Amino acid sequence: MQKVPEAGYEIKGLPVAGLQRSLTLDNLSFPIKLLKSLRIASGIVKDFRPDAVVGVGGYASGPILYAAQNKSIPTLIQEQNSYAGLTNKLLSKKAKTICVAYPAMEKFFPAEKIRITGNPVRKDILDLSGKRDLALKHFGLVEEKTTILVLGGSLGARTLNLAVLRDMAELEKAGYQVLWQSGKFYFKDMLSKMEESNLKHIHLREFIREMDLAYACADVIVSRAGALSVSELSLVGKPVIFIPSPNVAEDHQTKNAMAFVNHQAAVLLKDSEAVGQLKSKVEALMQNPELAAALGKNMKKLAKPDAATAIVNELEKLIQ
């Protein structure tokens, strides 16, 4: 609701929310929110009169795609994860085209509708060559030290932050430097603990906007395994340690990570084991340069840099 208007586009919100896996009071309001969202979505489609509608699997996609399909407007689904979400599975029966990022998605969708396109990613990471020196200077990093980039998303990931917090003194002592995005929710707490530590080579940031520079200077990356993060990292082609979030539907982050681990393109560290094992995982990679290089090379093989163009081409076919 903030980023889209900043980019110059109009946005309209829907009150729909997901069902909680446990019994909560919020679930009682789900039918009311859904019915209201369906009504609003129908009005949006009627007023906007689209030639086609794209859904990416979020809660808001459901009512909009449903409204469009009821009005015989062609719909395209873009499934970002290796494990399809409930919304996309339900709406796939009437969708014209389904763009996916992973193979073997026939278990979720009709095979004849599937197009393997990949996930769209930001253009500035398509070519990182020649950016390392600028990146080191921008973040105040030392050229001679191995750089660990830790990414927990814009809001932050508690486990990743606790893992870095526990091992940061030992990582610095071992000669590493860390560029650490803690996220909005955890920044103040992490900053106060950082100030107590007096460490010089642990660089804490609430949020990193210059991701091309962050990737350019990284020697190893520690990250959650959300769909778009995984797609970006495949383009970067650096050794990655995935710590999937366990707090997502159908444990899809683990499935996303395993799609790369099974191709010898990444390392998996369980969320439950991350605090206390981060340093050993990093060192195992950095002390085996052949393995690190192979992981990055294999990661790059799975990249789909032209995903956005491929999806637009499929969309144009529907409109024509």
Query: Whole-angstrom Cα distance, residue 173 to residue 191?
Result: 20
86 assigned to a ligand binding site: no
Residue 224 in marked binding region: no
Q: Is 45 annotated as a binding residue?
A: no
20 is in an annotated binding site: no
Q: Is 202 helix (H, G, I), strand (E, B) or coil?
A: strand
Q: Is 232 annotated as a binding residue?
A: yes
Is 320 part of any known ligand binding site?
A: no
Residue 87, phi then psi, degrees to nearest 5:
-55, -50
- Residue count of the chain: 320
Under 8 Å between Cβ of 84 and 62 = no
CB distance 307 to 120 below 8 Å:
yes
100 annotated to bind ligand: no
240 annotated binding-site participant:
no
Residue type, 154: S
Q: In whole angstroms, what is the distance from residue 123 CA to residue 206 CA? A: 23
Annotated binding-site residue? 79: no
313 is annotated as contributing to ligand binding: no
C-alpha span between 50 and 232 (Å, rounded): 30
List residues forming the annotated binding site for UDP-N-acetyl-alpha-D-glucosamine.
81, 122, 154, 208, 227-232, 253
List residues forming the annotated binding site.
81, 122, 154, 208, 227-232, 253
